Structure 1
Amino acid sequence: MKNRILYCLAAASLALSFFFEQAPAPTALGSPVAAEASLLPDFLSTDPVEGPSTRASYRDSIQYSQYAQALGVKLEYTENKDLLRTVTDWLGTPYHYGSNSKRGTDCSGFVTRVFKEVYGITLQRSSRSMFENVQRVAKDAMQPGDLVFFRRGPGQPIYHVGIYLTNGKFAHSATNGGVMVSSLHQAYYQRNFYAAGRVAHN
């Protein structure tokens, strides 16, 4: 019996010495053990209330808030994040007629690049050709990603195109400022708005 107790004590002592040898020493910035432990809840949360879906929703909320601030729009938090991110990345690109790069782009060039990046869809290069290949939608039924077309009065050709975002706001490349977000309620765009169209997504 006495020998059995001694064996147990020796085993416990060996286990404790192994643990302390393996534990990393504290650093000047704090204990690495504590720092490592602080990361564990992100992956090993035992809280039944806060699981991976809750953390994902939190990250989504932060991203939507960033896009809303950058684009100056009020979001429902259900919009296509790839669309919002891509448009945000293009903001401030200067206007350059006939081009479609981040060094400079015109309105239809901007739209074609966004649709290729977000949806993998290759659109026609001109705003007029785009209009001929969309499904017309009512102005009050527009959804994020629909195209908005403009012309300077009845009988005039379409001269401008943009991508509808939400709440009357659309993204486009304007001659007087490059890629930006504008409102359909602005007098100029309200006067020249012609139609909205939806691109078929395969």
Structure 2
Amino acid sequence: MKNRILYCLAAASLALSFFFEQAPAPATSGAPVAAEASFLPDFLSSDPDGGANDRASYRDSLQYSQYAHALGVKLEYTEDKDLLRTVTDWLGTPYRFGSNTKRGTDCSGFVTRVFKEVYGITLQRSSRSMFEKVQRVAKDEMQTGDLVFFRRGPGQPIYHVGIYLTSGKFAHSATNGGVMVSSLNQAYYHRNFYAAGRVARN
């Protein structure tokens, strides 16, 4: 509860600081008006016991809020921030078959690049090969960073892979829009979802 109050106070302080920085200083004042709105950050940093932790928690909460907004997901604020940041950086990258750069990438190329950047893990290049190397997990036990695989019906090969985020949402590179976040509850993905898998990380 204490942290929530501090976060609210800090947010209010940032808003006031922005307002005062945008307003011209009165002609009779020799000091910048923005200084008048800086007492709340000072208050947060004046706590010798928890000030540093509160500031770090506040920065974390801001980052999580930014990622939640960009990705369109509801976060628990315990997810891997490096993964969320990296996926966010890739959003909007166009689809390009056989490629894995920010000028264009296919689904498996996107997944391999994200795992290399975030975890230093080199995955197999195709979604089918990836599936052979992962540990299967139940759909209701998926965690952030698990892989989700799709096929077009029983007996059909796996043709698509994405990275599970949270709350039924996953990031992937789609042929009709490039890197984006979609829901497993969408009719197309719900129908074609095959399995989820977890990559071993040291």
Q: State TM-score, norm by structure 1.
A: 0.80
> Could you say what secondary structure the match of 2:182 adopts?
strand
TM-superposition CA deviations, 1:114-147 (whole Å, max 9, x none): 0001111000000000000000000000000000
Shift of 1:162: 0.1
Residue 149 of structure 1 corresponds to: 149
**Contact 2:111–2:172 (8 Å) recurs in 1:** yes
Q: Give the number of the structure whose alpha-carbon radius of gyration is greater.
A: 1
Runs (4+) of structure 1 exceeding 4 A deviation are none
CA distance in structure 1 between the partners assigned to 2:134 and 2:31 by the alignment = 60
Unaligned runs of 5+ in 2: 1-26
TM-superposition CA deviations, 1:42-86 (whole Å, max 9, x none): 6x9332465100011011111101100100000000000000000
| Aligned residues: CA RMSD | 2.7
Residue 200 of structure 1 corresponds to: 200
Residue 124 of structure 1 corresponds to: 124
CA distance in structure 1 between the partners assigned to 2:151 and 2:59 by the alignment = 40
Unaligned runs of 5+ in 1: 1-27
Q: State TM-score, norm by structure 2.
A: 0.80
> Could you say what secondary structure the match of 1:92 adopts?
coil
Amino acid in the other structure paired with 1:130: M
Residue 107 of structure 1 corresponds to: 107
Is 1:55 aligned to residue 52 of structure 2?
Answer: no
**Aligned residues with identical type, % of pairs:** 87
